[in-house]
Amino acid sequence: MNTHNYSYPTYAKFIHLGIAIFGILAFLTGELADDGHTSSGYLLHAYLGLALTATMLIRIGSGFTSAPALTFKGWSPFSKQQWQLALEDFRTLFHLKVPNRDRHQGLAGLTQAFGLIIFSWMAITGTGLFILGGEVESHAFEFIEEIHEVGETLIPLYLALHVGAVILHSISGNAIWKKMFSNS
């Protein structure tokens, strides 16, 4: 397969970094939120989550622009072609080779979409919990809290997939992670 030569503009790097930092830190501080909605642990978790929400709004909004690095145009995780490319990528992995696709295509595209969906899910539900202000007697609060906790279990899965793919590409000699830190 051919190597795709593209780079990420600075704004895309900052958006990715924002999702990574705010998303992971909000995830890691989640247990601190159990101390009540007025505790400093809850506020730390909430404000990291709100920063993630702002970053996700920027990321999702930029997906509807023509910016090549972030556009959703031609990138549907639900399309038949995307799943066919992902299946080809699995076959390539079974032959101990690393798939090389354009950004947002095949298995890489599904992994990226999964991450955007999970982090958006957590941002939306977390913001809902924050707006409700800890009204634990509310049925809406309890429902949102439950689906927020479901998302909590999916974040480690996503991070394992994403970091695992980066490591696999690096081992195969295609250190794509360097594109996030270089100007080329």
Chain segment 5-64, per-residue pLDDT in tens? 567 889 999 999 999 999 999 999 999 888 777 789 999 999 999 999 999 999 999 999
Distance CA 129, CA 151 (A): 14
Which residues lie below 8 Å from residue 162, measured CB to CB, with a gap of 6+? 111, 115
Please check the confidence at residue 184 and state whether its pLDDT lies above 80. no
Residue type (1 letter), 76: S
Q: Domain boundaries in the chain?
A: 10-180
Mean pLDDT over the full length of the chain: 87
The whole-model pTM stands at 0.85
In the structure, what pLDDT confidence band is assigned to residue 67 with cuts at 50, 70 and 90?
Answer: confident
Mean pLDDT of the region 137-150 = 88
Which residue did the predictor score with more confidence, 26 or 69?
26
Distance CA 53, CA 58 (A): 9
- Taken in order 16, 61, 106, 162, is the CA torsion positive or negative? positive
